[in-house]
């Protein structure tokens, strides 16, 4: 499922911006289909413009019926009546999906105890660790998340020990039943403080299994990101 909201705060209408010879949302959709990993790929949107962009180019898309706070809520509405076991969320503004990363994410569910899985990547630029726009995650020895934060975690108390810092990459997969439960829980205190919806799972006792990737995503948040994505596309 690809949640696609039209009126983004920092970059309005970004999903309909041209990227190469397609729009951003079509690049995301087509590249996700091209992985060959999924029984179905569906865009779920609040916009008839995006809906028609996908449908008129041979893709699958549905309108969400309600206003939602998060992409997870929008996806949950769309899959509620679908026959689905595992639902993977690809963000509409991340057009360059990486097949191997998504394959590893799906493989996490071979462990029947896994309810939710997501992706993380080692920071290669130390200067980004303190940037609150880059979400950090710490994990236990079993690769289950302990906490997500916009702050620097872990804090480096001992200058002689340099911890490894991981960036959370916002690609998720869920068992359908836990995704539907998520929408029934009220926003948690940590979630409201950090503005990170994944903390709702942790506060309700649901572990998130993390998969490590070395692949850099190319998320489009601001107009400058679109310029970088154009350069990335030309270099592919």
Higher pLDDT, 137 or 215: 137
Q: Does residue 212 have a pLDDT over 80? A: yes
CA–CA separation, 133 and 140 (whole Å) = 23
116 inside domain: yes
115 inside domain: yes
Average pLDDT value for residue range 12-16: 89
Q: What is the pLDDT of residue 181?
A: 96
pTM confidence score: 0.87
14 inside domain: no
Considering the chain, what is the average pLDDT of its residues? 91
Q: Does residue 217 have a pLDDT over 80? A: no
* Phi, psi for residue 208 in degrees, rounded to 5: -115, 115
Q: Does residue 46 have a pLDDT over 70? A: yes
Which SS3 state, helix, strand or coil, does residue 179 take?
helix
In degrees, to the nearest 5, what angle opens at C-alpha 200 toward C-alphas 189 and 210?
130
Q: How confident is the model at residue 9 (pLDDT cuts 50, 70, 90)?
A: low
How many other C-beta atoms lie within 10 A of the C-beta of residue 176? 17
Tell me the pLDDT tens digit for each residue of 136-181.
999 999 999 999 999 999 998 888 888 999 999 988 999 999 999 9
Residue 205: give the domain boundaries.
99-170+186-216
94 inside domain: no
Q: What's the total number of domains in the chain?
A: 1
Q: What is the pLDDT of residue 221?
A: 80
211 inside domain: yes
List all residues 6 or more positions away from 26 whose beta carbon is below 8 Å from its beta carbon: 53, 54, 57, 59
71 inside domain: no
CATH code at position 109: 3.90.550.10
166 inside domain: yes
135 inside domain: yes
């Amino acid at each position: 499922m690809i949640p696609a909201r039209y009126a983004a705060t920092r970059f309005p209408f970004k999903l309909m911006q041209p990227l190469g010879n397609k729009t951003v949302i079509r690049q995301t959709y087509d590249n996700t289909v091209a992985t060959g990993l999924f029984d179905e790929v569906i865009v779920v949107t609040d916009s008839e413009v995006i809906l028609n962009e996908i449908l008129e180019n041979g893709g699958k898309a549905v309108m969400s019926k309600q206003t939602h706070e998060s992409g997870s809520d929008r996806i949950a509405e769309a899959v509620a009546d679908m026959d689905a076991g595992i639902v993977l969320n690809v963000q509409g503004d991340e057009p360059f999906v990486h097949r191997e990363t998504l394959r590893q994410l799906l493989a996490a569910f071979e462990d029947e105890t896994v309810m939710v899985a997501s992706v993380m990547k080692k920071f290669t630029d130390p200067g980004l660790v303190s940037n609150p726009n880059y979400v950090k995650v710490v994990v236990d020895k079993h690769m289950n998340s302990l906490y997500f934060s916009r702050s620097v975690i872990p804090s480096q108390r001992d200058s002689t020990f340099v911890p490894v810092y991981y960036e959370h990459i916002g690609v998720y997969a869920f068992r359908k039943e836990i995704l539907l439960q998520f929408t029934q829980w009220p926003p948690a205190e940590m979630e409201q403080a950090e503005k990170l919806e994944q903390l709702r799972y942790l506060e309700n006792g649901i572990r998130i299994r993390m998969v490590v990737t070395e692949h850099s995503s190319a998320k489009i948040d601001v107009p400058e990101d679109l310029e970088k994505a154009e350069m990335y596309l030309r270099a592919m």
